[in-house]
Chain A
Amino acid sequence: MAVAALKVQLNALLSNMFATGMVDEQFQQLQSLEEGGTASGFVAEVATLFIEDADRIIADIAALLDQPVVDFDKVDAHVHQLKGSSSSVGAQKVKLACMHFRQFYEAKSKEGCLMALALVRSEFCDVRNKFQTMMQLEQQIEACSPK
């Protein structure tokens, strides 16, 4: 019974993530990979990787922007990486925030970058929370179900 409720909760969470555009079809594809294959926990693994990686990248960008003289090329590289990483996991909103970011580092606007970074960070926090919730639910289901 607990398992079923958890599953309902998980599904609600996932559909909410899709509905809000937080994740896109890439994430769906990852899920389908997990379902179809032997790679159980794959989505969780990727999500974990993403969270770690994005967290690091965002911290790096923040550090860069904290410098008196901002190296926008490095910012570019980091944002680029974050974009690749978020698009790979299907974190659509983070990806969009990264694309939004671009115009500011191209304009070499430090304030704009800080703004954009705030947006990225906020989007990332959202998706991180959801991912973490998702993984917790999955773990609970895992813990309950095999009996």
Chain B
Amino acid sequence: MRTDVRRGAAATGRDQFPVGMRVLAVDDDPVCLKVLETLLRRCQYHVTATNQAVIALRMLRENRDMFDLVISDVHMPDMDGFKLLELVGLEMDLPVIMLSVNGETKTVMKGITHGACDYLLKPVRIEELRNIWQHVVRRKFSTRDSVNLDTYEECNKPPSADSDYVFGQVTCGSPDQSGRPSKKRKEYHSEEEDEDEDSSGQDNDDPSAPKRPRVVWSVELHRKFVAALNHLGIDKAVPKRILELMNVEKLTRENVASHLQASHLIYFLVVISRLVPCVFHTCRALSVLQPAARHSEITFAKYRLYLRRLSAVASQQAGIVAALGGRDPFLRMDAFEGLQGYQAFTSPAALSTFSAHGLLNSPRNNQTAVVIQGVATSRSIPTGSSSCTTNPLIGDAAKYHLSLPGNQHGNLGQGLATSLGQAQLQQKWMNEGSGDLSTILSGNSRANGMPRMLPSVTSSPLLPPDLVECTQAKVAIQPSVRAPSASVELLEGAIGASSGPLESRVSQQSALPSSGFSANMLPVHGSFSNNGASFSSNGATRLGDAFSASFRPTNDLTVARGTKVGAGSFGGTIHLSPDTEQKYVSFGSSDSLLDPKLVWSSSQLPSNIGAHYHSMSQRSNNCSIDSSHGGRMFGQTSASASTAAPQTKFDILFSGDTSMARNASESGAQRLQSELSSSTCSFDGLLNSMIKVEKDDAAFGGDDLGCDFYSLGACI
């Protein structure tokens, strides 16, 4: 076949996008190619045309950055368009538009599943071509570092990669770091692909057809894999059964096994990689704050040790993975994971903790006392759940000051208000807090706090009716009229906050959180009433079913809460054993907020608090916290899910510090503003626990919560 490569004139300036967009057109049909090329030129793109897919592939490989977009015919003699599409998807992060005269649904679907960003029918019209630049922009915006749908993974594919959640952002760095690695996933050259190039003319549509022992885990295949996994459940997912369920030809049990293993490994790595920075950050923050309590210092030390260990392991594993796959495992994982919550999780964790500090510590010593008092007073309230309110304190230092020690309620109310303004409140927090607050807070405090809240509330179109209703119901208990509105606003704010961090994927994620949110609200309230061990998992994460938290329920109070922020979902489990003024946070880290002495969970908490939650669809997340060690986090939520566990944990720890500099609290607040804070949940939990402590009988936390969350997770 004659080769025919026509290159367009030099690219025009890139500033006037889409003019000069570099398009590679591939079509074996000279007529179509000529027309296509001309049409593209007419659109002022910089066109390179070739009539052979093999040549196209070579050009793409040789000049990776020479093209912005590929338009390829489906039917080509030398290489099937889908094959080209797949290879391009694997090797470079380029949008590919398929072109065919065949508009059958099946064919179009095939194009989509292979990762085509568009599927045009011949004859192509210039109107369609004028618009294709959007794919380039879209790709750049939404998936800068994110995963390309078709990833070919021998061993690097994390199971959690759900196609819907592909737009994960990678944030491995410090919490503040909102930036994502701009590094694109590329340069994955394998001999295999080269072989494909050489063996032109073969029609290799089936990604699973292994001519070699290596198996290309195409998106489609991986989907099947995940589906099988979901079906079986993480515990029962053995390669053989997965293979059966997948029902893919030529796929061997070994392939599945290695994929499964790789998935686990990657998952673990991801968890670690996320966890480590957070922890470090937390430690730093703590040291800055100069935790008054010695205990806290000790715990920090422990954590550091632990972190060191973790990081060592992580690096080791990373090395292994790198050696195996020759790629950056973290990057990879991130991309695959598409952890939405990731960002939120990593960055907010430390921040959230800060905020927690502020709340707990109430910057001023006096105020701390006051807060505590306030809590105590709050207990008088029948509902008994007022913890949430305290959290807000962080937000506004000024307000905080304003609040008079004498007025415990007043303080609380203000705190709430401030928090609202920040809009960083977690959903859960919102729910509980709003409801509780309204009930708890006296009219005065509300008066102060409310105004603030109102302005802060921006727009929460997504508010689930359920939530509002719930809060209102709670409010109803309280005579105050304002309460309900406040709560609603709070909720709204929370929603907004959650959506914020997502940025690029706002649409998808934002919607999700809201739904989860509403669902969560109710359960949370219910939990408060219950005594005994309470476990809460976040709804957003799919952890739900598998999530089994083994907390030693002390007869005292155990408050478990799971807070989820829509995008960055937080799974917070607070395990409080309030009996002797000591509070334990689940996940092994226990802080006594009220107590002058910080007591760590190790002493009183059950030796092992392990929360294992598996997100069936995505991966198994294990949160096993060793109380003795202070805290251990193994689990991570799945991609879609948030890594709630770690955050919660951190938050709790911070809250544990009673001696928090006011500065710290302030800074925390600022940070919180910029980012979502998941700590609120923990805060709430703490406060509640405190309150509860004051109360003899009151017990918070209910198993119901967990269930509800699960359901939420499922819904999501």
A residues near B1, Cβ cutoff 8 Å: none
- Say yes or no for B122: interface residue by CB 8 A criterion: yes
8 Å CB contact of B75 from A33, A46, A81:
A81
The stretch of B24-32, B176-184, B679-687 in contact with A is B24-32
- Say yes or no for B101: interface residue by CB 8 A criterion: yes
A residues near B41, Cβ cutoff 8 Å: 37, 39
Given contacts A33-B39, A37-B42, A46-B35, A85 and B29 within 8 Å (CB-CB): yes
- Scan B38-49; emit 1 where CB is below 8 A from any A CB, else 0: 110110000000
A residues near B126, Cβ cutoff 8 Å: 29, 33
Given contacts A87-B123, A88-B123, A81 and B34 within 8 Å (CB-CB): no
- Say yes or no for B125: interface residue by CB 8 A criterion: yes
Give the nearest-CB partner of A54 in chain B.
B31
Contact at B38–A88, with CB atoms within 8 Å?
no
Given contacts A80-B75, A84-B101, A89 and B29 within 8 Å (CB-CB): no
The answer for the CA separation of A88 and B122 in the assembled complex, in Å, is 6
Contact at B101–A87, with CB atoms within 8 Å?
yes
Distance in Å: Cβ of B158 to nearest Cβ of chain A: 39
What secondary structure prevails in chain A residues at the interface with B?
A: helix
B residues near A84, Cβ cutoff 8 Å: 29, 31-32, 73, 75, 100-101, 122
Contact at A85–B39, with CB atoms within 8 Å?
no
The answer for the CA separation of A81 and B27 in the assembled complex, in Å, is 10
Give the nearest-CB partner of A80 in chain B.
B75
The answer for the CA separation of A42 and B125 in the assembled complex, in Å, is 16
A residues near B30, Cβ cutoff 8 Å: 49, 52-53, 85
The answer for the CA separation of A134 and B28 in the assembled complex, in Å, is 26
The answer for the CA separation of A73 and B41 in the assembled complex, in Å, is 35
Contact at A53–B29, with CB atoms within 8 Å?
yes
**Central interface residue in A36, A39, A45, A49, by most chain B CB within 10 Å:** A49
B residues near A80, Cβ cutoff 8 Å: 75, 101-102
B residues near A33, Cβ cutoff 8 Å: 38-39, 42, 126
8 Å CB contact of A88 from B35, B42, B75, B77:
B35
The answer for the CA separation of A26 and B102 in the assembled complex, in Å, is 17
B residues near A115, Cβ cutoff 8 Å: none
Contact at B75–A30, with CB atoms within 8 Å?
no
- Say yes or no for A77: interface residue by CB 8 A criterion: yes
Distance in Å: Cβ of A45 to nearest Cβ of chain B: 7
- Scan A34-59; emit 1 where CB is below 8 A from any B CB, else 0: 00110100100110011011000000
Given contacts A26-B123, A33-B38, A37-B42, A85 and B102 within 8 Å (CB-CB): no
- Say yes or no for A121: interface residue by CB 8 A criterion: no
- Say yes or no for A128: interface residue by CB 8 A criterion: no
Give the nearest-CB partner of A24 in chain B.
B123
A residues near B77, Cβ cutoff 8 Å: 77
**Central interface residue in B31, B38, B123, B125, by most chain A CB within 10 Å:** B31
Report B93-109 residues with CB < 8 Å from chain A CB.
Answer: 100-102
Distance in Å: Cβ of A118 to nearest Cβ of chain B: 22
Distance in Å: Cβ of B101 to nearest Cβ of chain A: 4
Given contacts A29-B125, A80-B102, A85 and B32 within 8 Å (CB-CB): yes
The answer for the CA separation of A80 and B102 in the assembled complex, in Å, is 8
Contact at B29–A81, with CB atoms within 8 Å?
yes
Contact at A88–B29, with CB atoms within 8 Å?
yes
Distance in Å: Cβ of A34 to nearest Cβ of chain B: 9
- Chain A count of residues within 8 A CB distance of the other chain: 24
Contact at B101–A50, with CB atoms within 8 Å?
no
Given contacts A49-B30, A85-B31, A77 and B75 within 8 Å (CB-CB): yes
Given contacts A80-B101, A87-B101, A88-B123, A46 and B42 within 8 Å (CB-CB): no
8 Å CB contact of B38 from A39, A77, A81, A90:
A39
- Say yes or no for A83: interface residue by CB 8 A criterion: yes
A residues near B102, Cβ cutoff 8 Å: 80
The answer for the CA separation of A77 and B77 in the assembled complex, in Å, is 9
Contact at A49–B75, with CB atoms within 8 Å?
no
Given contacts A84-B101, A88-B123, A90-B123, A42 and B38 within 8 Å (CB-CB): yes
B residues near A90, Cβ cutoff 8 Å: 123
Distance in Å: Cβ of A39 to nearest Cβ of chain B: 6
Given contacts A39-B38, A87-B123, A53 and B101 within 8 Å (CB-CB): no
27 A-B pairs within 8 Å (CB atoms) are namely A33-B39, A36-B42, A37-B38, A37-B41, A37-B42, A39-B41, A42-B38, A46-B35, A49-B30, A77-B75, A77-B77, A80-B101, A80-B102, A81-B75, A83-B101, A84-B29, A84-B75, A85-B29, A85-B30, A85-B32, A87-B122, A88-B31, A88-B32, A88-B122, A88-B124, A89-B31, A90-B123
- Given contact pairs A77-B75, A84-B29, A88-B31, enumerate 17 new A-B contacts (beta carbons under 8 Å): A29-B125, A30-B38, A33-B38, A33-B42, A36-B42, A42-B38, A49-B30, A49-B31, A53-B29, A53-B30, A80-B101, A81-B75, A84-B32, A84-B122, A87-B101, A88-B35, A89-B31
Interface residues of B (CB under 8 A from A): 28-32, 34-36, 38-39, 41-42, 73, 75, 77, 100-102, 122-126
Give the top 4 A-B pairs by smallest Cβ distance, nearest first: A84-B101, A85-B31, A88-B32, A26-B123
Interface residues of A (CB under 8 A from B): 26, 29-30, 33, 36-37, 39, 42, 45-46, 49-50, 52-53, 77, 80-81, 83-85, 87-90
